[in-house]
Amino acid sequence: MNSDILIQAVVTLFVTIDPVGLAPLFLAVTAGMNRSERRQVALRASIIAFGIFVLFALAGTLILSLFGITLPAFRVAGGLLLFWIAFEMVFERRQERHENTAQRAITEDDIHGVAVFPLAIPLMAGPGAISATILLSGEFSSVLDRMALIGIILAIVVLTYGVYLVAERVEGLLGATGRSVLTRLLGVILSALAVQFVADGVKALIAA
């Protein structure tokens, strides 16, 4: 497996899942819970999100074929979606939208369901992260490569779980300015990766 592809997978999934950016949202959806309850919610959400990612990593291309969608076409569509997410990150619209989603969960859903919605879906396993997983699964074609992709997903989900456990400290450490700078920086990186996805997809479509 090419090291460049591994690095691309790590960066893409890290940026689209955005563990650091989820820290304040985790605090929002678990408001009023004690430390033990927050730990249970964090663990359940992480397990559910990981299961969703594994499903699309292993069967993403099969799911596309059932709908008659080619991987190059999805690569272009997914790249455009990732670019939109990057645009929102640079201009800080994504965080505001996620905060609104989190707030709705507190007022409308039972507190015990926040691990599923909105924490696991769509904050962790959202459209961007799922699209990125399917796109990357096309690069990781062999069994060993897919295991490597699942290992990367597991590492980032575990990292996210760790961030949840120290969410209060992370938010206090970064502050509003630090979080804003980090979000914009990750958005620029994701936009470049999104353009690369679109370029590769267009090239494959033309070749076909």
Q: Give the residue from 174, 197, 202, 189 showing the smallest Cα distance to 15.
A: 189
Q: Are 117 and 109 in contact (CB under 8 A)?
A: yes
Which 8-state DSSP code applies to residue 119?
A: I
Task: With cut-offs at 50, 70 and 90, classify the pLDDT of residue 44.
Answer: very high
Mean of the pLDDT values across residues 1-10?
A: 86
For residue 24 the two structure tokens come to 């304040």
Question: Which 8-state DSSP code applies to residue 111?
Answer: G
Is residue 75 a contact partner of residue 201, using CB atoms and an 8 Å limit? yes
Mean pLDDT of the chain: 83
Closest CA to 60 of 44, 39, 74: 74
Tokens (6 digits) for 107: 């007022």
Task: Report whether pLDDT(156) > 50.
Answer: yes
The H-or-E segment that residue 15 falls in is: helix 3-17
Question: What confidence tier does 147 reach under pLDDT thresholds 50, 70, 90?
Answer: very high
pLDDT digits (tens, 9 = 90+) for 64-108: 889 898 888 888 888 888 788 788 878 876 556 556 666 555 444
Q: What is the pLDDT of residues 183-194, one digit of tens each?
A: 788 788 878 878
Confidence label for 1 from pLDDT (cuts 50, 70 and 90): low
Q: What is the pTM of this model?
A: 0.75
